[in-house]
Chains A and B, each alone.
Chain A
């Protein structure tokens, strides 16, 4: 059956999956392993005891209503319809909404707040980009089909052949993606900001007056700057190598300024390589519903945005939440140990198809259908292109949307 993959931010919409035979076509190994059968949470549970959906939802509602400041976190691996209900639920219980971006691509959002986001869709890259730079991103391992579908080998309106395109990888180590590239530039860890500043200076026609910047020889920088100036349509795809190393949002901001500069004489765009298949939706939906993308507090009855206060990790480290609901994510596996410790001390509700470390410390566990296989809904690819992910097979599991709808009803009932 024709499917839309719900693993990474590529959201490949050309795949096929045969549920009976458990066989897929055109999938990458990461996507296929998500679609193939694996261990599931078998039943709703309260404190490890199997219960019905209704009982688990009632208990979850009680926890959320009785909490002074619940944290509702996750959302990157579910569909917009569920996310929207989650945002409204957070508003009603006066809690805090946060999503996975706060521990990965949020610095890119902060940079957008400073300088905007001069970008384009992946189709623009495929059709027009004669120069592609992967900066601190490694699609061969994180987004395996990105190079063939969109960026390296993809053929389009103006780009007819791999030879029509120059591919550069800038990273701290020679990644698998670097092997695809025409040029690899190795930066000393933490020196991306300086390298970008040097490129800006050179492109402006200034002399950088040093022999190397961040481990990159001056001649190599000048050559890269020339290539960038001479490109007709270039793109920088940046990844966690930029957002989670020294400089973070400031580095992204600097890169955006570089793009602004290049657009005075030619065309360039920049775009983040977003991870989970709908982490973009987890930011876009709250943006239209309540005005912000992440780290949103409703304790005053209206939304407030403050990443340093209302990001999930910060909330947990300060022990600022007295209950937590985790939807489609695994913070217990990825958050700092101190943050996870607070999760052990407060009631935790989990909604997820698959058991993970968070399951082990959750008081209420609600299994859900896998979006893209057992449930449909809308997801946003990394470039905010909306795609409807499909339901391929019936399931006894409730969809995230249905669970949240019932939970919302229950909460409204309890609050009167």
Chain B
């Protein structure tokens, strides 16, 4: 490892620091970005970045990359594993079409210039498994979001309106799971699934608790804000996957009104594509993006990510167990389900998005509409991997957002249904390179509360991607093929100051850190001690064996909350 780097003459786009296509040098020392005066130039490894785009490493804020869901997906889909990406040499053999092995996940993100990734839904009792798989993903820095929205202690404290206990529980749970933030999946709906039901509306009653999804969401936002955690509540809305569900999404977004945080949003709504359907059945389903975009754009405290659908294979896997059963029935596909203690559940169903299928074409169009109609400061690029498709297709999505011409060409290939059911054909917006870099770097880092990620300012982590694109010469509107090609394979990916990728080839395997949030300074779990003992009567393991110790994780990094 060269402990000093001099990235020379690159053309930098760094939205957080308002740099848009300036020719600059970047200096790296001990894994951090430093001032020029900090390095000895003759000792630096020099990277000639002339005429190349230099940006921060990509930040994946929502993907299912580790734990029991993706691993069950791998087990039930050996057909996914026949794509050989790399044979064993000095590095690991990697396989996978959309579902990838853990080494493949690390390598493929790095190849694209991504250096941080967050597992989007960790079943609390499975935390040790999730962390084992995160530890098997090379190169990237990682974190995991435990799911809270159907966990009995949460439901109980919400029902009792006991915010002190709710906060103490969140603090306890983040420490025990080594988790990063408060993920909420179909609040109340999974508890209802245990009785064969669902909570499709914000005012449906959660069986056994006398509360509603509305109560759960607002209580968790309030608790999260009082604790002032780095990340906000991260919500997978109720009613996912159903025609007409955009209204539930709009109502859910509006629940953030009245909460405020100077640093970031107070609510992040995830993979909105799956929650943005209008109409009343699959026969008249249409895009509901317009109302959602209007709502998000009118508020200053909500962000979303796309959950774009990519044509081809995918595997639906979410904590939204009742939805997965619906999907299994709809597609006649194989189905795995996992009800989990008193915490919630999950389901897994294979799916394939076909351009000539009107519903799939609609989903594809809605994902793109979100990226085009929501302010670029409020929407992050994701495919909700592997639900909407592979993360390796991000360059395709970036190119599509930047070029109306490319969209017109693609629209010719898909079912005509999208012409009347969406606004996509009429949208003239073309995202700039600056905006797309923001949507994949500085914005997700800000939303997550990772101050040293997603930018190239002094003190930032030296996670840097360099591409064979000259921002001052390229016209993405017409040269979309260049965008699509070059973002797939970085000229260089630098992780913590280490050159990991050169011309799309992995040079070495390193191991990143796992961030977790310690908010014990904000609330003491002591006040829920006897409650916890009570809850563990309903677990099948002892309280003393619940959770993950730091020493069981390869490179844990505790982030304290002040």
Chain B residues 367 to 387 lying within 8 A of chain A, measured CB to CB, are: none
Contact (Cβ within 8 A) A113 B540: no
Chain A residues 124 to 146 lying within 8 A of chain B, measured CB to CB, are: 124, 126-128
Q: Is B128's CB within 8 Å of the partner chain A?
A: yes
| Partner pick for B194 among A80, A91, A267, CB 8 A cutoff | A267
Chain A residues 217 to 238 lying within 8 A of chain B, measured CB to CB, are: 232-233
Q: What 1/0 mask marks residues of chain B from 95 to 133 whose CB sits below 8 Å from any chain A CB?
A: 110000111000000000000000000000111110011
* Residue among A2, A113, A265 with most chain B CB within 10 A: A113
Query: Shortest distance in angstroms between A253's beta carbon and chain B's nearest beta carbon?
Result: 10
Contact (Cβ within 8 A) B341 A260: no
Contact (Cβ within 8 A) B87 A116: no
Query: Shortest distance in angstroms between B265's beta carbon and chain A's nearest beta carbon?
Result: 32
Chain A residues 106 to 161 lying within 8 A of chain B, measured CB to CB, are: 109, 112-124, 126-128, 149-150, 156-157
Hey, which chain A residues are within 8 Å of B152, CB to CB?
157
Hey, which chain B residues are within 8 Å of A267, CB to CB?
193-196
Bound CA span A303–B95, Å = 8
Query: Shortest distance in angstroms between A72's beta carbon and chain B's nearest beta carbon?
Result: 15
Q: Which of B3-11, B50-58, B66-74, B161-169 is near enough to bind chain A?
A: B66-74
Bound CA span A267–B193, Å = 8
Q: Is B550's CB within 8 Å of the partner chain A?
A: no
Contact (Cβ within 8 A) B194 A128: yes
* Residue among B70, B96, B102, B541 with most chain A CB within 10 A: B541
Contact (Cβ within 8 A) A287 B552: no
Query: Shortest distance in angstroms between A415's beta carbon and chain B's nearest beta carbon?
Result: 11
Bound CA span A141–B364, Å = 54
Q: Is B545's CB within 8 Å of the partner chain A?
A: yes
| Partner pick for A149 among B132, B194, B342, B540, CB 8 A cutoff | B540
Contact (Cβ within 8 A) B132 A80: yes
Q: Which chain A residue lies CB-closest to B126? A: A386
Q: Is A164's CB within 8 Å of the partner chain B?
A: no
Q: Is A266's CB within 8 Å of the partner chain B?
A: yes
Contact (Cβ within 8 A) A118 B335: yes
Contact (Cβ within 8 A) A291 B541: no
Contact (Cβ within 8 A) A120 B87: no
Q: Is A385's CB within 8 Å of the partner chain B?
A: yes
Contact (Cβ within 8 A) A284 B342: no
Query: Shortest distance in angstroms between B242's beta carbon and chain A's nearest beta carbon?
Result: 17
Q: Is A387's CB within 8 Å of the partner chain B?
A: yes
Q: Is A57's CB within 8 Å of the partner chain B?
A: no
Bound CA span A174–B84, Å = 49
Query: Secondary structure of the A side of the interface?
Result: mixed
Q: What's the count of A-B pairs with C-beta under 8 Å? A: 176
Q: Is A298's CB within 8 Å of the partner chain B?
A: yes
Q: Is A104's CB within 8 Å of the partner chain B?
A: no
Contact (Cβ within 8 A) A120 B340: yes
Contact (Cβ within 8 A) A290 B95: yes
Given contacts A266-B196, A302-B95, contact A92 B328 (CB under 8 A): no
Contact (Cβ within 8 A) A232 B195: yes
Q: Is B81's CB within 8 Å of the partner chain A?
A: yes
Contact (Cβ within 8 A) B75 A293: yes
Q: What 1/0 mask marks residues of chain B from 31 to 52 whose CB sits below 8 Å from any chain A CB?
A: 0000000000000000000000
Q: Which chain B residue lies CB-closest to A109? A: B75
Contact (Cβ within 8 A) B87 A300: yes
Contact (Cβ within 8 A) B81 A303: yes
Query: Shortest distance in angstroms between A363's beta carbon and chain B's nearest beta carbon?
Result: 26
Bound CA span A115–B193, Å = 20
Contact (Cβ within 8 A) B196 A263: yes
Q: Is B76's CB within 8 Å of the partner chain A?
A: yes
Q: What 1/0 mask marks residues of chain B from 471 to 490 whose CB sits below 8 Å from any chain A CB?
A: 00000000000000000000
Q: Is B78's CB within 8 Å of the partner chain A?
A: yes
Q: What 1/0 mask marks residues of chain B from 532 to 544 whose CB sits below 8 Å from any chain A CB?
A: 0000011111101
Contact (Cβ within 8 A) A116 B129: no
- Size class of the A contact interface (CB-based, 8 Å): 35 or more
Given contacts A287-B75, A302-B95, contact A124 B541 (CB under 8 A): no
Given contacts A13-B545, A387-B541, contact A291 B101 (CB under 8 A): yes
Contact (Cβ within 8 A) A124 B76: no
Q: Is B339's CB within 8 Å of the partner chain A?
A: yes
Bound CA span A4–B544, Å = 11
| Partner pick for B538 among A94, A112, A117, A123, CB 8 A cutoff | A123
Chain A residues 249 to 304 lying within 8 A of chain B, measured CB to CB, are: 260, 263-267, 269, 283-285, 287-293, 298, 300-303
Contact (Cβ within 8 A) B194 A116: no
Bound CA span A287–B349, Å = 18
| Partner pick for A121 among B102, B127, B540, CB 8 A cutoff | B540
Hey, which chain A residues are within 8 Å of B77, CB to CB?
113
Query: Shortest distance in angstroms between B153's beta carbon and chain A's nearest beta carbon?
Result: 12
Contact (Cβ within 8 A) A305 B81: yes
Q: Is A388's CB within 8 Å of the partner chain B?
A: yes
Contact (Cβ within 8 A) B338 A121: yes
Q: Is A309's CB within 8 Å of the partner chain B?
A: no
Q: Is B345's CB within 8 Å of the partner chain A?
A: yes
Contact (Cβ within 8 A) A233 B194: yes
Bound CA span A124–B341, Å = 5
Q: Is B92's CB within 8 Å of the partner chain A?
A: yes
Contact (Cβ within 8 A) A121 B340: yes
Bound CA span A264–B125, Å = 28
Query: Shortest distance in angstroms between B163's beta carbon and chain A's nearest beta carbon?
Result: 24
Given contacts A267-B195, A387-B545, contact A378 B93 (CB under 8 A): no
* Residue among B87, B337, B538, B552 with most chain A CB within 10 A: B337
Bound CA span A319–B243, Å = 58
Q: Is A380's CB within 8 Å of the partner chain B?
A: yes
Contact (Cβ within 8 A) B78 A157: no
Contact (Cβ within 8 A) A385 B133: no
Contact (Cβ within 8 A) B194 A150: no
Q: Which chain A residue lies CB-closest to B74? A: A287
Contact (Cβ within 8 A) B334 A265: no
Contact (Cβ within 8 A) A283 B93: no
Bound CA span A109–B81, Å = 15
Contact (Cβ within 8 A) A91 B93: yes
Q: Is B88's CB within 8 Å of the partner chain A?
A: yes
Bound CA span A91–B102, Å = 15
Contact (Cβ within 8 A) B126 A116: no
Contact (Cβ within 8 A) A127 B341: yes
Q: Is A41's CB within 8 Å of the partner chain B?
A: no
Contact (Cβ within 8 A) A288 B93: no
Q: Which chain B residue lies CB-closest to A377? A: B552
Q: Is A103's CB within 8 Å of the partner chain B?
A: no
Hey, which chain B residues are within 8 Å of A269, CB to CB?
337, 339
Hey, which chain B residues are within 8 Å of A165, CB to CB?
none
Hey, which chain B residues are within 8 Å of A120, CB to CB?
337-340, 345
| Partner pick for A378 among B80, B328, B348, B552, CB 8 A cutoff | B552
Bound CA span A258–B196, Å = 16
Contact (Cβ within 8 A) A378 B345: no
Hey, which chain A residues are within 8 Å of B76, CB to CB?
112-113, 116-117
Q: Is A172's CB within 8 Å of the partner chain B?
A: no
Contact (Cβ within 8 A) A116 B348: yes
Q: Is A248's CB within 8 Å of the partner chain B?
A: no
Hey, which chain A residues are within 8 Å of B335, CB to CB?
115-116, 118, 260
Q: Is A207's CB within 8 Å of the partner chain B?
A: no
Q: Which chain B residue lies CB-closest to A267? A: B196
Q: Is B336's CB within 8 Å of the partner chain A?
A: yes
Query: Shortest distance in angstroms between A243's beta carbon and chain B's nearest beta carbon?
Result: 16
Hey, which chain A residues are within 8 Å of B84, CB to CB?
302
Bound CA span A120–B542, Å = 18
Hey, which chain A residues are within 8 Å of B538, CB to CB?
123, 126-127, 156-157
Contact (Cβ within 8 A) A305 B341: no
Hey, which chain A residues are within 8 Å of B172, CB to CB?
none
Q: Which 6 A-B pairs have the closest CB atoms?
A: A120-B339, A301-B87, A123-B341, A291-B81, A123-B540, A386-B128
10 inter-chain pairs at a CB distance below 8 angstroms, sorted by A residue, are A116-B334, A116-B336, A120-B339, A123-B541, A284-B129, A291-B101, A301-B93, A302-B88, A305-B78, A386-B127
List 13 extra interface pairs beyond A157-B342, A288-B133, CB under 8 A.
Answer: A88-B92, A91-B88, A116-B335, A123-B342, A150-B540, A266-B196, A267-B193, A267-B195, A284-B75, A289-B102, A289-B103, A302-B84, A378-B132
